[in-house]
Amino acid sequence: MSEVIHAGHQDSDHGSDHDHGPDKGLARWLFTTNHKDIGTLYLWFSFAMLFIGGIMALVIRTELFQPGLQFVDPAFFNQMTTNHGLIMVFGAIMPAFVGLANWLLPMQVGAPDMALPRMNNLSFWILPFAFGMMLSTLFMEGGGPNFGWTFYAPLSTTYAPDSVTFFIFAVHMMGASSIMGSINIIATILNMRAPGMTLMKMPLFVWTWLITAYLLIAVMPVLAGAVTMMLFDIHFGTSFFNAAGGGDPVMFQHIFWFFGHPEVYIMILPAFGIVSHIIPAFARKPLFGYDSMVYAVASIAFLSFIVWAHHMFTVGMPLAGQLFFMYSTMLIAIPTGVKVFNWTATMWQGSMSFETPMLFAIAFVVLFTIGGFSGLMLAITPADYQYHDTYFVVAHFHYVLVPGALFSIIAAVYFWFPKWTGKMYNETMGKAHFWLSFIGVNVTFFPQHFSGLAGMPRRIPDYALQFADFNMISSIGAFIFGFSQLVFLYVIIHGIRKGKPAKARAWEGARGLEWTLPSPAPYHSFTQPPHVPDAEVQG
Amino acid sequence: MKQKISFVGILLGLISAPLALADQLNMRRGVTDISGQVYDLHMTILWICIAMGVVVFGVMFWSIIHHRRSAGHEAAQFHGSTKLELTWTIVPTLILVAMAIPATQTLIAMYDTGGEDMTVEVRGYQWKWQYKYLDDDYNNTFGFFSTLATPQDEIRNQSNKGEHYLLEVDNALRIPTNRKVRFLITAEDVIHAWWVPDFGIKRDAIPGMLNELWTIVEEPGVYRGQCTELCGKDHGFMPVVVEVLEEAEFDAWYAQEMANESIRQEALSKTFTHEELMAQGEEVYGTFCASCHQPNGQGLPPVFPSLVGTTVVTGPRDEHIKLVIDGVNGSAMQAFGKQLDAAQLGAVVHYERHAWGNNAGDITQPRDVLELSGQ
Amino acid sequence: MANTESNPTEYYVPHNGWYPVVLAAGLAVMLTGTATFMNDVKANEPGSWTQILLGFAVVAVVLYYWFGKVILENTQGLVNDQLRRSYVWGMGWFIFSEVMFFAAFFGALFYTRTLSVAWLGGEGAKGFTGDYLWPAFNDVWPVVSNPDNVLFPGPEVSMAAPASAAGWVSYLPFYNTVILLLSSVTVHNAHTAIKNEDRFKLKAWLGVTVALGCIFLGLQVEEYVVAYNDMGLTLSSGIYGSTFFLLTGFHGFHVTLGTVILLVQLIRSFRGHFGPKDCFGFEAASWYWHFVDVVWVGLFIFVYVF
Ligand code: HEA
Ligand code: HEA
Ligand code: CUA
Ligand SMILES: [Cu+2]
């Protein structure tokens, strides 16, 4: 079986090369159909976006360092807040998870590549154009999007700067990219598994991504519908979000959050998957409660469709609606709790060691749970009246997003780095990166709970004097955290260039098909469907 | 053993330090029955979460300390227990039910509108609040705008910031103690949100839609909040200030305002001199127009145009008046005909035509405005 | 044709290609062009079509080559059963995403009809909105008189009131329903013809389907002309016009796409493509067509009948 993979050279546009290896130079990256190349593109792209979005966060934190207007004017501040949120969500976190999916899914299910490799390349290459389009709006007359990442009408329609039209098309493009990406992931998972890998033997990262992909396919089109209605309200005189013509601005929020709430779980379910690989590996003990982990993810995904209006408790819904959304939101704590408890039980009686991926994974569990607790507090409608649109909310979602989603991505990069590059990163530097990040993230976001409870609204460039201390601490933390990501960059580049060679099973406790491949993994992962040994199965 | 103790110590320290400073760090109890209920609810869930956290993190850190490979611990190989799984599904469910009950009760109490003693309409504008006192048939008796009073040089760090920096307004909303006040909340342009933390109430002000809220305050005093829904450039600069007066004091103030209202009506038919119009116009301009067109009339191009020497301010007077009355559709320039009375409109138009070197050479009286607005 | 005995251990990974990245660039050119055009028109300046058409041309050319390549690979027998299944899954979930896109507009229709219009008209849980802010507005659906009739002058009559519309046009939505339902049958017949290897019937039924699609579109254009010219029902005539035109308009857009896709299949069938076991392209087109059809039934019920 030397030719089990047809590399399409029969009618290739580039002559015939029989080695199946990558092309040379730029062409490799522009034209690639290889899941690893595309995964790499996604990951570097999202890293660049993290830096751009992070710099915007630093602009915010610099302005908020002290009361008074110092560095930017309020109009620009709003553009920073908006673009920071948009870039982090759509540019940093989501593409990073898709990048991980590209790298890992084929290896974990025992496939040579993704199911639809050319479309895979398209999904990626749409993104730089979409974000180029969105970032270019910052230089347009009237400025870029300034209406918050939630772009509530009519601030984002009748009262928006002209650049909103570009923003709308950029969102359409990102949506198309996500939908194609998810279709690809679903087809890969359902269709390309090695013989013997039944659904309930799939690694959890595969499971969580399968469910995430369904969420994406179900809600990205709804977001597309929402921005389309905006487009028509702005340019064609419709009145979807205008009461004067029989519409309702609040309808925008319903449609947005029908997308938006599942969206936040899109940013956390793959993280759950990652952590469910790392903790057992370093506890040297099988994952506790595999089945219930799968069911919990499925329940969270289901519930995510019926809780959206917890973002809208103050819009004045009828009482029955408020109660329904409060109860359904609270229910999410149960399956999420099951996950937290199962991770704890996996560590219990283990034989733990604390390499960098494990440190990030443990920090994930602890800090995500803190963010989950504040989420539960927000779910209590009467209390949410006091929390809503204050920094308490900002603290909540940064706890689930930064030491949540972002930490899980960082943990994944450290964990699979040897598999991707065939090299080991520098453990000391990795640990330094962890401790700096851990301190930075808490110093940044913990005080925000207090400023929120004291009454500081979000999305403001200037604040009353009683909030000054917390904001100063928070700004200092932000710079520590930002600086520590430079350390991350250093560790990665150093590892790629000077790292020591890694073993096939780089971590002795790691389980899964990907660890049966050599490090670095071959260009086409499994040229022949592998046999799935019981020892490599998680449950 | 030593390690364990120090760890527990740190954990307790971490939890209790913030609580010791609870006054600054926690939600305020507020001054109404509802805000008290909300505070209690907040504390209940906070404690539940802390307790949960102590248990979960306690177990986790215990095993981190004891079940380490470097401490020579061998890994057990169990990987499931239906009993445990059931426990940690059912127990949290019960806890959640226990949280939901008081939450539901408070929410129902909050929705108990009706039976009000007086009604105030609250209307959000970019970037100010308008309060209108309504009579029993929901007709406006009198009303006023409430705008940020903090001077620009404090915001721009050119002078020291006052105690109520950014939380002070020119005209505060005034309500009496011990009466049930109903608020009808809406907005003129984009969505705003009206929040008084000490009353425990917050509601979005949505253009074209109406929301209700109510409160009964027992303590006289000045209560401060802010707009909490992103509403554009000056979202951070539209505070909510409510002054709660003793009932008798409120009634006296109310009667006085009703009397002033008839004086205001008379002004509409008076004829003013250039100086009077400039003085009043400057005041109106400062309050309503300067945030966009800037005190020097230069605006902030390209979004907010300059008013110096443009075709509108040097062109026909009636066009200018109409533009200010009707606003410019689809832009931030609002229809000020709905916000200002004819005396104010006349004065501000006159001012614009003669300030900053503009010299239209005409005069704009309240009655000119009345004619154009068809009243 | 293709290697019928597909080997499960053999998988075709296509070689690198220029299509995706050029397609993405073409899309970006087209959409930035569209945005610029729209903003120019809004500012009452003449908009330019050049960039839009350029971008569209790039997209069209790439798609032509891309699909051509996929078809070629198929005829060369590079596609095994597994990849075929991936295509099926892919198309299925793509259609589901389209369903969710329409769900957003249907959601808007239900929300406004049952909630916001009622509230603005003084009914329901938030009826005080209408009583206080819009005392003159009455909530009847279709909304012919809006809360603010200066900003949004309502239509004179609604599409759901056949009696007032002129002659046969009043039954137009009904005709269109019949036409689309028929076309679902004809496309199914074409499929059966493939299975029976009856080339003539395949071409005939497919041809009829494409023709029905075109007739549907023609009638819809006629309907829009009547709406704009005789009924005053426009995009800007308030929420009724908004929901009406977005739902029917995006549906019409999908019918157009579907017709083009079917036309491609028709051309392919004239070139001798498709066999009983090898007709994914055709099947995908026909699923898409059935989907468009089902959406129409929903539209007919909720936009025209109720
Ligand atoms: C990754 C993203 C993510 C995740 C996972 C979550 C998780 C949760 N979120 Fe969060 N949320 C956001 C991202 C996220 N959120 C964002 C971005 C916003 C702001 C959007 C904006 O306005 O810009 C937001 C806002 C937001 C609000 C609106 C606040 C407001 O604007 O007023 C609410 C209200 O209910 C809420 C609730 C919750 C709940 C109940 C969970 C639950 O899933 C949490 C469940 C977890 C736990 C509870 C912890 C573990 C459980 C146990 C240990 C079990 C036992 C515990 C008990 C029974 C107490 N979130
Ligand atoms: C999804 C993920 C995500 C991530 C990772 C982050 C990361 C960060 N966020 Fe973000 N944030 C959001 C999502 C996210 N945020 C969302 C959705 C909103 C709401 C937006 C809205 O209201 O519409 C928001 C809003 C928001 C606010 C509130 C703004 C407001 O209401 O006005 C603040 C304020 O402190 C903030 C801060 C930060 C900081 C300091 C980080 C840090 O973690 C960032 C750290 C990263 C870097 C700093 C970059 C890397 C380093 C360099 C480039 C080197 C240069 C640095 C130095 C030399 C120090 N964020
Ligand atoms: Cu008004 Cu924010
Ligand atoms: Cu949510």
H or E element at residue B322: helix B317-326
Determine contact, residues B61/B6, Cβ cutoff 8 Å: no
pLDDT in tens, A120-174: 999 999 999 999 999 999 999 889 999 999 999 999 999 999 999 999 999 999 9
Which of A311, A391, A456 for mutating ligand 1's site (highest number of atoms within 8 Å of CB)?
A311
Contact A62/B at CB under 8 A: no
pLDDT at residue A17, as a whole number: 39
Classify domain B118-266 at the CATH superfamily level. Cupredoxins -  blue copper proteins (2.60.40.420)
User: What ranges in chain C are assigned the alpha helix state H?
Assistant: 19-42, 50-75, 81-111, 117-120, 128-133, 172-195, 199-226, 238-270, 280-299
Residues within 8 A of C (CB atoms), A 470-509 only: none
A451-463 pLDDT per residue, tens: 999 999 999 999 9
Q: What is residue A522's DSSP assignment?
A: P
CA–CA separation, B25 and B10 (whole Å): 20
- Helix (H), strand (E) at residue B245: strand B239-245
Which of B12-16, C44-48, C65-69, C107-111 is the most confident on average? C107-111
Q: Is the pLDDT of residue C156 over 80?
A: no
Pick B63's closest partner by Cβ from A142, A340, A347: A347
CB contact under 8 A, A78 and B52: no
Domain extents in chain C:
1-79, 80-305
| B67-123: pLDDT as tens digits | 999 888 888 888 888 889 999 999 999 999 999 999 999 999 999 888 899 999 999
CB atoms near residue C135 (< 10 Å): 8
Provide the pLDDT for residue C158.
Answer: 62
For residue B130, how far is its CA from the centre of ligand 3 (angstroms)?
13
| Cα B12–chain centre separation | 37
Element housing B223 (H / E): strand B221-226
Question: pLDDT band for position C161 (50/70/90)?
Answer: low
| Residues surrounding ion ligand 4 at CB below 5 Å | A 261
Asked if A261 is an active-site residue, the reply is yes
> Could B208 and A147 be called an inter-chain contact, meaning their C-beta atoms sit closer than 8 Å?
no
B227 touches ligand 3 (CB under 6 Å): yes
The pLDDT tens digits for B282-301 are 989 988 898 889 988 888 88
Q: Looking at ligand 3, which atom is closest to the CA of residue B205?
A: 1
- The per-residue DSSP string of B299-315 comes to -BTTTB---SS-HHHHS
The set of long-range contacts for A506-510, using a CB threshold of 8 Å and a minimum separation of 24, is: A506/A418, A506/A419, A506/A424, A507/A281, A507/A282, A507/A355, A507/A357, A507/A415, A508/A284, A509/A280, A509/A281, A509/A282, A509/A283, A509/A284, A509/A285, A510/A277, A510/A281, A510/A415
Q: Residue A384 Cα, ligand 1 centroid: separation in angstroms?
A: 12
Catalytic residue (choose from A37, A233, A263, A355): A263
Residue A311 falls in the annotated catalytic set = yes
With CB atoms and an 8 Å threshold, state whether B208 touches C119. no
CB nearest to C120's CB, from A173, A184, A246: A246
Residue C148, min C-alpha distance to chain B (Å):
10
**Do A326 and B100 count as a contact with CB atoms less than 8 A apart?**
yes
The distance of A187 to chain C (nearest Cα, Å) reads 5
- Nearest atom (ligand 1) to Cα of A405: 1
Tell me: pLDDT of C259 over 50.
yes
Is A336 known to be catalytic?
yes
Active site annotation includes A158: no
Query: Six-digit token pair at A84?
Result: 């920071």
Question: Which phi and psi angles does A524 have, rounded to 5°?
Answer: -105, 110
- Whether residue A247 contacts residue A240, with contact meaning beta carbons closer than 8 Å, is answered with yes
Name the class of domain B270-373.
Answer: mainly alpha
User: What ipTM goes with this model?
Assistant: 0.90
Q: In this structure, are residues A113 and A195 in contact, taking their beta carbons and an 8 Å threshold?
A: no
**Chain B residue set in contact with C, beta carbons under 8 Å:** 138, 184, 186, 208-210, 212
Whether pLDDT at B340 is above 90: no
CA distance B155 to B148: 11
State the average pLDDT over residues C35-52: 91
| Measured CA angle at A131 (ends A125, A132), to 5 deg | 90
Residues of B in contact with A283 (CB under 8 A): 67, 75
**CA–CA distance, B345 with B350 (Å, rounded to integer):** 8
pLDDT in the model for residue C169: 63
Q: Does ligand 1 lie within 6 Å of residue A496's CB atom?
A: no
Chain B partners within 8 Å of A159 (Cβ): 126, 189-190, 232, 332
The nearest CA of chain B is from the CA of A205 a distance in Å of 18
Can you tell me the mean pLDDT for C206-229?
92
Helices of type H across A68-197:
74-86, 94-109, 117-136, 164-191
The yes-or-no answer on residue A265 being catalytic is yes
For the CA of A311, the nearest ligand: 1
Query: What is the average per-residue pLDDT within C302-306?
Result: 83
CATH class of residue range C80-305:
mainly alpha
Please tell me which residue of chain C has the smallest CA distance to A172.
Answer: C31
Helix, strand, or coil (residue B192): strand
Place B366 in a pLDDT band, splitting at 50, 70 and 90.
confident
- Confidence at A16, pLDDT banded by 50, 70, 90: very low
From CA B228, how far away is CA B248, in angstroms rounded? 32
DSSP secondary structure letters along A181-208: HHHHHHHHHHH-PPTT--GGGS-HHHHH
Q: What number is the average pLDDT over the span B143-150? A: 92
- Nearest alpha-carbon partner for C211 in C185, C181, C179, C189: C179
Residue nearest to atom 33 of ligand 1 (CA): A378
**Is 90 exceeded by the pLDDT of residue B4?**
no
Output the six-digit token pair for C199. Answer: 């080339």
Looking at residue A183, its pLDDT comes to: 96
pTM: 0.91
Using CA atoms, how far residue C141 sits from C107, C116, C191, in Å, is 16, 12, 41
Q: Using CB atoms, pick whichever of A147, A322, A386 lies closest to residue B230.
A: A147
CA–CA gap between residue C242 and residue C219 (Å, rounded) = 20
> What is the reported pLDDT for B22?
55
Banded pLDDT at A19 (limits 50, 70, 90)? very low
**Between residues C116 and B370, the one the model is more confident about:** C116
Q: What is the mean pLDDT of residues A92-112?
A: 95
C-chain residues near A221 (CB < 8 A): 97-101, 103-104
Compute the mean pLDDT over every residue in chain B, rounded to the nearest whole number: 88
Tell me how far apart the alpha carbons of residues A350 and A353 are, in angstroms, rounded to a whole number: 9
The residue with greater pLDDT, A335 or C83, is A335
- Pick among B39, B107, B240, B304 to test the A interface (most A CBs inside 10 A): B107
- The residue with tokens 């359409």 is A172
State the catalytic residue, choosing from A35, A193, A339, A511: A339
Q: How far apart are the C-alpha atoms of A395 and A405, rounded to whole Å?
A: 14
* For range A90-100, the mean pLDDT: 97
∠ Cα A469 A471 A475 (to 5°): 120
Tell me how far CA of residue C33 lies from CA of A166, A169, A371, B310, C41, in angstroms: 10, 10, 43, 33, 12
Distance CA B160, CA B351 (A): 31
- Using only C-alpha atoms, chain A has a radius of gyration, in whole angstroms, of 23
> Which backbone phi and psi does B4 adopt, to 5 degrees?
-65, -45
- Of C216, C209, C284, C281, the closest CA to residue C255 belongs to C216
Strand-pair partners of B211: B185
Tokens linked to B233: 């450039």
Q: Which chains touch C (3 or more CB pairs under 8 A)?
A: A, B
For CATH 1.10.760.10, the residue range(s) in chain B are: 270-373
**Residues 6+ away with beta carbon under 8 Å from A173:** A126, A127, A129, A130, A133, C27, C28, C31
Q: Residue A159 Cα, ligand 2 centroid: separation in angstroms?
A: 25
Do C112 and A183 lie within an 8 Å CB cutoff?
no
Beta-bridged to residue B295, according to DSSP, are none
Average pLDDT rounded to a whole number, residues C224-244 = 89
The rounded distance, in Å, linking the Cα atoms of C166 and C162 is 8
In whole angstroms, give the CA distance from residue A312 to residue B239.
Answer: 21
CB < 8 Å to A9, chain C: 15
Sign of dihedral through CA atoms C134, C140, C145, C151? positive
Contact C100 A232 (CB under 8 A): no
Q: How confident is the model at residue C1 (pLDDT cuts 50, 70, 90)?
A: very low
Q: Distance (Å) from the C-alpha of residue B345 to the closest C-alpha of chain A?
A: 24
Q: What is the pLDDT of residue B374?
A: 63
Nearest CA-CA partner of A104 in A527, A515, A534 = A515
Nearest to A378 by CA among A403, A395, A365: A395
Amino acid (1-letter code) at residue B153: D
The model's pLDDT over C164-206, given as tens digits with 9 standing for 90+, comes to 455 566 678 888 899 999 999 999 999 999 988 888 999 999 9
Would the pLDDT of A9 be above 80? no
| For range C215-233, the mean pLDDT | 89
Task: Convert the pLDDT of each residue in C57-99 to its tens digit.
Answer: 999 999 999 988 888 888 777 777 788 888 999 999 999 999 9
Which residue of B41, B52, B204 sits with most ligand 1 atoms within 8 Å of its CB, as the best mutation to test the pocket? B52
Q: Provide the 3-class DSSP secondary structure of residue C224.
A: helix
A375 within ligand 1 shell (Cβ under 6 A) = yes
Residues of B in contact with A287 (CB under 8 A): 79
Q: Residue C219 has what pLDDT?
A: 92
CB atoms within 10 A of CB C201: 15
Mean pLDDT, chain A, whole residue set = 92
Q: Is B190 in the pocket of ligand 3 (CB under 6 A)?
A: no
Please tell me the distance from the alpha carbon of residue C243 to that of residue C159, in angstroms, as a whole number: 12
String of DSSP letters for B175-186: EETTS-EEEEEE
Proportion of chain B above pLDDT 70, given as a percent? 93
* CA–CA separation, B234 and B225 (whole Å): 15
The verdict on the CB of residue B238 being under 6 Å from ligand 3 is yes
Most confident of A194-198, B79-83, C25-29, C297-301: C25-29
Does the beta carbon of C24 lie under 8 angstroms from any beta carbon of chain A?
A: yes
Is residue A334 within 8 angstroms of chain B, CB to CB? yes
Residue B215 has pLDDT above 50, yes or no: yes
**Could you tell me the distance, in angstroms and rounded to a whole number, from the CA of residue B187 to the centre of ligand 1?**
29
Summarised one tens digit per residue, pLDDT across range C4-32 is 333 445 566 777 788 999 999 999 999 99
Alpha-carbon span C181 to C176, nearest angstrom: 9
Cα C39 from Cα C30, distance rounded (Å): 14
pLDDT digits (tens, 9 = 90+) for A233-254: 999 999 999 999 999 999 999 9
**Inter-chain residue contact A255 with C108, CB threshold 8 Å:** yes
Instruction: Enter the CATH code of domain C1-79.
Output: 1.10.287.70
First to last CA, chain A: 32
Nearest CA to ligand 1 atom 9: A375
| DSSP-based three-state secondary structure for C106 | helix
Give me the mean pLDDT over the C49-64 stretch. 95
Q: Output the ligand 2 site: residues, CB below 6 A.
A: A 50-51, 54-55, 57-58, 60-61, 81-82, 84-85, 88-89, 93, 148-150, 394, 398, 401-402, 406, 444, 458-459, 478-479, 481-483, 485-486
**Structure token digits, residue B147:** 């705008």
Which amino acid would we find at residue A390? T
Residue nearest (by alpha carbon) to ligand 3 atom 1: B192
Q: Do C242 and A240 touch (CB under 8 A)?
A: yes
Burial B114-136 (b: 16+ CB within 10 A, else e): eebebbbbbbbbbbbbbbbbbee
